[in-house]
Structure 1
Amino acid sequence: MLTFIGLGLYDEKDITVKGLEAVRRADIVYAEFYTSHLMGTSIEKMEELYGRKVTVLTREDVEQNTSWLSLAKEKNVVFLTGGDAMVATTHIDLRLRAIDMGIDTAIIHAPSISSAVSGLSGLQNYRFGKSTTIPFPYTRRDKTIISEAPYDTIKMNRRNNLHTLVFLDIDREKGFMRIGEAVSILMEMEERRGEGVLVNALAVGIARAGSDSPVAHADYLEKLKDYDFGRPLHTLIIPAQLHFIEAEALVKLCGAPQDIMK
């Protein structure tokens, strides 16, 4: 049996009671933190609360190595992930591979940033379109490459009057992308494309969702770049046209400019 268990948003205590019970019953406990990361905890704190040893898998282990996965044919194996257990596509792929290997699977869900952003910002969850991720720029043949896929996703969503949830890259060497970096990349895309998608665009920054001190701040994109959101993890939202209740929520909950209510 392979059980996927979400760990929630911030620390080792975000796991559900059902998830904690499943971890304590498991023969082997694995975890991955390259798709998301719990900033308020450590492996040592998790092991202390869960009462089990936690083995952290790399991206290569999860996506290419099947030796650990094969153990679930005979043993009760748990696979821990930040947020909800099935938000990342790579986890769905892993579950399908397990099924192809004849392994029974189960899921225990947990809080996810996909739902938390609505509560923190006041934006209505059913009005979110396709999400996107801003990756760190990289160099190829002495040329800096910036993916324009996030710009295209935001453009499509705004055309359909839908909000865009923008995840920020996590890189083993470069660390955690911050909102200021993400905004700079988006503004560079706008300058390069010149399509006006992000001209005078409102944006909402979310930091440390699930912690005791989350930050949710809204402003026009070029001003948001200089706002101090503090420690990661950071997430960005590019809203569509606002319902009047959403506009009021952004002003009262996120300190957005009053003129968005006109």
Structure 2
Amino acid sequence: MYNITKDESKQLVLEIKELQLRINNNDTIATEMEQLKKQIQNKNDEMNTLKQEIQLKDEHIQQMERDIEITKKDFNDKEKQLLSHHEQAIKILEEKNLKLLQHSQALSKQSNDQNKEEDQKQPNNQDIPSSPALPVSITFNFDTFCTSSKSLKKCSGHTGAVNSIDYSTFSGHYICSGSYDKTIRVWDIETTKQIQIFNEHSNCVNCVKFSTYYYYNQRRNVICSSSNDKTIRFWDFKDNRQLQVLNEHTDT
């Protein structure tokens, strides 16, 4: 039998303790590695979530840019239409002004000719005054008309340009309006107060109209509207509710 000396015994004890320390250290390192793996996985998950959020924001920005382009195009089209209508109105006024001037000049010439004939018939009668001549020209000044005009009433509430209005002649004194702010509003023309608002359209409202059909056939106060969201809608502004949606259009 082999006998262990005290020194050898001490050495063995030290080696055993060192091995235990190494084992404990290895366990600690393994635990730390697991924790690091979990942290890395969490960071990867966070990065993936951020990537998804960035992608969604990019898509939202792209959609906003497309909406802005559509709005710009609509605005340019409306501006061209307004300019065209303005030019047509000026042209019509100029034509009417020219006709009025020509007619006035013709009347003036006719009056002068008549005066000359009367003077020739009565050459010795100097005391009888001749008939006064008509004005040579009568002109309509559009700028003077605009500056002399004044606003009678004002209805305020829309946050975007107003595209369309209609006046009710069969059920009280009301005006309805449709706007770029996607709303339809009803106003009491006597008090200029807003009495109703409808905001179900998802894009600008192009046209509004009081429905004579609903009023005379069903005795209901109904407004119909069309919008860039490709829908036509009917609204009962007395009962404050939407009656019907027509959404078969595929373009604005």
By the TM > 0.5 criterion, same fold? no
Pair member with larger Rg? 2
Normalised by the length of structure 2, the TM-score is 0.22
Q: Greater helix percent: which structure?
A: 2
Normalised by the length of structure 1, the TM-score is 0.22
Q: Structure with the greater relative contact order (CA < 8 A, sep ≥ 6): 1 or 2?
A: 1
